[in-house]
Structure formats: structure tokens, C-alpha cells
Structure 1
Amino acid sequence: MTFYWFAQAVGVLAFLVGITSFFNRDDRRFKLQLSGYSLTIGIHFFLMGANAAGSSALLSACRNLVSMRTRSLWVMWLFLSLTLVMGLSRYQHWVELLPIFGTSISTWALFRTRGLTTRCVMWCSTACWVTHNIWLGSIGGSLIEGSFLLMNGFNILRFRRLQRRGIDPFAAEKQAEKKASEGRLMSEPRA
């Protein structure tokens, strides 16, 4: 197997990890799998010689993991700042602003939203990346992000239909979050 095909195989692996992430109803598993995708696609970009894209993907992997542990505003602002500094210092054409915007809104969503809202904002972010990748002429990037757009869009509609029927597709996640918050309150010392 040549190095080129090895790099492409890593890209296909990233595609498989990423495409299945939007089936998760649990935000924690969703973010964990999205981190795995970002890490894998980052490695793919580095192997293909696209170092700026690789760096951005690795930053996204870190951001996704950190957003599982904290919803702190200062951490969110740190990742937004890193995204803007790295992106705005390297862009040369207005279309390159789309992924910067997409990454910024997905950073906000991962730290400040939950459930269906997170997925809707991520869908908008993906639309920015698809547009950019088509403009760039990236076949693999366009296919991966296009698939994300379709799969996440399909799941948004599915989750919304469940909500209209009175079924909360994110109920288990909300219960786990409530128990964790009650556990923290019980363990705090009383004054």
C-alpha cells in the first residue's frame, strides 16, 4: 500500500466515524464521536500535506472534548479566539471566511446549547464547510461534509417528528444531567 492510499484510507475511516456520530441522541457520545472524527480527519489532512486544515481539525477535536467537561464561557471564548486568530490570519479569499464562521458557531453550540439546537447549529456550520469545500474543489471534503449535511438533516427531522408526537428523544440525556447535578449538590459542604 502506498503512502497516498494509506492517507486516503485514514480519510475513509474518518468518514465512517463522522457519519455515524449524528445518530447519537446523547450529547456526550455525540461530542466524543465528533472528537474522534476530528482527530482522524486531522491526521488525514496532515498525511495529505494540508497542515492548516489538520491543525484546525485537531483544535476542533480538543474543543469537542473540553466542551464535554465544561460549559464555561471563558473556555468557549478561548476556543473562539483561537479559531478566529488562526483562521483570519490565513484567509485569502472571502469564501475562506465560511469555515471560520462555521467553526465559530459550532464552538458556541457545543458550549451553550443542547439536544436538537446543537444539531441544528452544527447543520448550519456544515453548510458553510460544504460550500467552502465545493469552491475549493475538494472532492473528499465535499463528500464527507455533504454526507454530514444529509445525515444530520435527516436526524434533525426525525428528532423533531418525535418531539411533535410528545416523545423527547433527549430524555435519557436530560435525566443523566439532572442526576449528575443533584450529585454535585449533595456532595457540596453545607454552610
Structure 2
Amino acid sequence: MTTYWLAQGVGVIAFLIGITTFFNRDERRFKLQLALYSAVIGGHFFLMGAAPAGISAGLNAVRTVISLRTRSLWVMTLFIVLTLSLGLVKLNHAVELLPIIGTVASTWALFRSSGLTTRCVMWCSTACWVTHNFWIGSIGGTLIEGSFLIINGINIIRFRRMQKRGIDPFAVEKKMVNE
């Protein structure tokens, strides 16, 4: 088995892990599943030779778990600086900026926003990643990020409609934060 097919296999495993991530309304489960997905897809990117994306995905995994414990501005800034400094050093092509931009945006979202705002920023981050993944030829990465784009987009619309009807789709999340 060549490294290419091993990398593609890891990407498909990441796809299987990540496919239901954005269905979660519970912030903790959402973040834990997103962290697991990020760790696996990071391995995929390193195997594909896409170091900036691998670094960004690895930082995403750690950052997402840490964001469960703190929403500290200092910690958020640390992850943004790490993403920029480590990712930009390995940059070979302009398209490789997209996962770095996506990671910075999602870092801000996980530390400074909640609910629907988080999902909207994550949707924009996903658009950066899907473009990058298609460009590098990542089958699993393109499938999962394309799926994230669709699933999260549908859920954003669904959650917004719930809010317009006076239903708080994130009541579970808010209840857990207040306890």
C-alpha cells in the first residue's frame, strides 16, 4: 500500500468520524467530536504532504478540547499566534493560507462566541478548508468538509427558523453553562 492510499484511507476514517459533528446541539459533545475529527484529519494532511493543513488541524484538535475548559482571551490569542507562526513557516502555495485563515476564524468562534454565531463562523471556516482540500486532492477531506458545509448550512437555517418561532435551539447548552 502506498503512502497516498494510506493517507486517503485516514481521510475516509476522518470523514466517518466527522459526518455527524454539526448535528450536536450540546456544545460539549460538539467540541469533543470536532476535536477527534481534527486529530484524525491532521494525520491525513501530514500523510498527504500538506504540512500547514496538518499543523492547523492538529492545533484545532488541542484548541477545541481546551476551549471546553476556558474561553480565555489569552489562550485564544496563543492558539491564533501558534497557528499563524507554525502555518506560515511551512507555506509553499497561496492556497495553503486557506486552512490557516479557517483555523484562526474557528479559534475565535470557539473561544468568543456560542450557539448560532459559532456555527456561522465555522461554516465560513469550512468553506476555506473545502477549497484547500479539493486543491490538494484529498478525497476524504473534500468529502467531509463538503458534508460539513451542507450539514452545518442546513442546521444553521433550521436553528435560525427555530429562533424565529421563539424556540431556543441551544437551551441545553445554556442550561449546562448556568449550572
Please report the TM-score for the alignment, with normalisation by the length of structure 1: 0.85
Cross-structure match for 2:167: 167
Verify the 8 A CA contact 2:55 2:87 in the aligned structure 1: no
More deviation, 117-126/127-136: 127-136
More deviation, 157-166/50-59: 50-59
Alignment: residue pair count: 179
Structural RMSD (CA): 2.0
Cross-structure match for 1:82: 82
Please report the TM-score for the alignment, with normalisation by the length of structure 2: 0.90
Higher relative contact order (CA 8 A, sep 6+): 2
- Mapping 1:115-126, distance limit 5 Å: 115-126=115-126
Q: Distance in 1 between matches of 2:178 and 2:165?
A: 23
Q: Distance in 1 between matches of 2:85 and 2:44?
A: 23
Cross-structure match for 2:10: 10
Q: Distance in 2 between matches of 1:6 and 1:95?
A: 23
CA 1:85 to 1:70, structure 2 compared with 1: closer, same or farther past 3 Å?
same
Gaps spanning 5+ residues in structure 1: where? 180-191
Q: Distance in 2 between matches of 1:39 and 1:10?
A: 11
More deviation, 8-17/67-76: 8-17
CA offset at residue 3 of structure 1?
A: 6.7
Instruction: Report runs of 4+ in structure 1 exceeding 6 Å deviation.
Output: none
Q: Distance in 1 between matches of 2:3 and 2:135?
A: 27
CA 1:80 to 1:129, structure 2 compared with 1: closer, same or farther past 3 Å?
same
Verify the 8 A CA contact 2:162 2:169 in the aligned structure 1: yes
Q: Distance in 2 between matches of 1:133 and 1:49?
A: 12
